A = this chain, B = another copy of it.
Amino acid sequence: MPLMKSWVESANAPDTDFPLNNLPCGVFSVGEAEPRCGVAIGEMIVDVAGLEEDGVISLSEIPVFDLPFWNELMELGPEAWAAFRARMTQLLAEGAEEQAKVLPHLYRQADALMHLPFAVSEYTDFYAGKNHAYNVGCMFRGPENALPPNWLHLPIGYNGRASSVVVSGTDVRRPLGQLKPPQAELPYFGPCKRFDFELEMGAVVGTPSEGMVSVAEADDMIFGYVLLNDWSARDIQAWEYQPLGPFQAKATATTISPWVVMKAALEAFRVSTPEREKDLLPYLREPGPMLYDIELEVGLAPEGKAETVITRTNYREMYYSAAQQLAHHTTSGCPMNAGDLLGSGTISGATKESRGSLLELSWGGKEPVTLDTGESRSFLEDGDTLTLRGAAKGDGYRIGFGACSGKILPAPPNPYES
């Protein structure tokens, strides 16, 4: 599919994240106005709540955009999602007859503040990138035992904390926590010293389910995708995670991109998961390609200094797709809801330059990463701004997510400092 042209000129630029082919979903506010649902088009945002109020779009007998979250559209299901995209495409396409109805509802992205695009019902994080699992396993258990015995048979996941999910641009405060250095006899309470990012994609569940769903049904349930940075306190995790998994190490914040790219916008970029190293059980087998070719990169900018791109990789590096993860998530009968967020797991490529965390890039701190500024990093330092970017690249256009960014603030005062 080539670039679809829009009468919003900036949407036709080859380097925009937001051509007419994309139409991602966000929540924005301008000035003192309340946050509202909007769709990005080039350098602009279309206020879809305004279009609904004017009767220009009408998806249901009751309003869908009366709350500053996309959950209500999600719950309406795939037919409504398709109807919404068709209508928005009609309104924004080059030569559209109803241009005058849209014009009063256009805002400049440069003037807008972005908010969480949906109410996060629950947040699950997976561990489904094989290179990442292998790298981390090597560091902690040696190469022979790097991959846990279950890893090639199921997408390992754990429940995260929905209340800690924030939108790009939110500052992230270095956490305090209970720490025990390997040689120390006793733990102490203080600021995390090994604060890290994790480059992930997030799948957003749209239609709810009860009972078990197949991989094909799971794929139908997914509304769209975001960029996701699962901030991780490696030293807190090392002490707390046995035997029940990560807890406070992952609860400081998880940052997502301001825009949810609907699955329909990514259809042209579907790719298959890599060849299976062990046969999967039938319930996890994919009926077709369920990953996406999305190029990803991470930039790190020390306070007041230029950014260095520290890794480049691709979503297609995952071993399990979001549809497989979601199907596995329902095996126990676990009910899923609109707004459930599934983190893919850290996306690392096979080469050193494509690793998706500083833990891997600096190999546990033993090989610090050198930035273009001449500084080096084993883990994140206060003042650093970390930015994820991603785009599927088509013929003369790209489908992007906007930047997924956060700045590290110093730890809060420690009320228990001795």
Contacts and interface: CB of A to CB of B under 8 A. Distances in A.
Given A164-B334, A188-B281, A240 B178 contact: no
Q: How large is the interface on A (under 10, 10 to 19, 20 to 34, 35 or more residues)?
A: 35 or more
A121 interface: yes
A269 interface: no
Contacts of A175: 331-333
B412 A333 contact: yes
A333 B157 contact: no
Contacts of A162: 122
A335 B170 CA distance: 14
A351 interface: no
A8 interface: no
A212 B176 contact: yes
Contact of A240 (B154, B180, B335): B154
B245 A122 contact: no
Contacts of A186: 153
Given A150-B240, A150-B242, A212-B412, A163 B335 contact: yes
B245 A243 contact: yes
Interface in A128-172: 148-150, 153-154, 156-164
A75 B51 CA distance: 35
A209 to B, nearest CB: 10
Contacts of A243: 148, 156, 241, 245
A246 to B, nearest CB: 7
Interface in A58-115: none
A181 interface: no
Nearest to A176: B331
Nearest to A159: B159
Interface string A190-225: 000000000000000000000110100000000000
Contacts of A173: 333
Nearest to A175: B332
A244 B283 contact: no
A76 to B, nearest CB: 19
A168 to B, nearest CB: 18
A273 interface: no
A407 interface: no
A275 to B, nearest CB: 18
Contacts of A148: 242-243
Interface of A: 121-122, 127, 148-150, 153-154, 156-164, 173, 175-178, 180, 186-189, 211-212, 214, 233, 236, 239-249, 251-253, 281-283, 328-329, 331-337, 340, 412, 415-416, 418
Closest 8 CB pairs of A and B: A245-B245, A251-B334, A159-B159, A248-B332, A158-B244, A175-B332, A244-B245, A163-B335
Given A163-B335, A249-B332, 13 more contacts: A122-B122, A150-B242, A153-B180, A154-B187, A156-B247, A157-B247, A159-B247, A164-B335, A175-B332, A175-B333, A178-B281, A251-B329, A251-B332
29 contacts: A121-B163, A122-B161, A150-B187, A150-B242, A153-B178, A153-B180, A153-B187, A154-B240, A157-B244, A158-B245, A158-B247, A161-B334, A163-B335, A163-B336, A175-B333, A178-B281, A189-B282, A189-B331, A241-B244, A243-B245, A245-B246, A248-B328, A248-B332, A249-B332, A251-B333, A253-B333, A281-B416, A283-B415, A333-B412
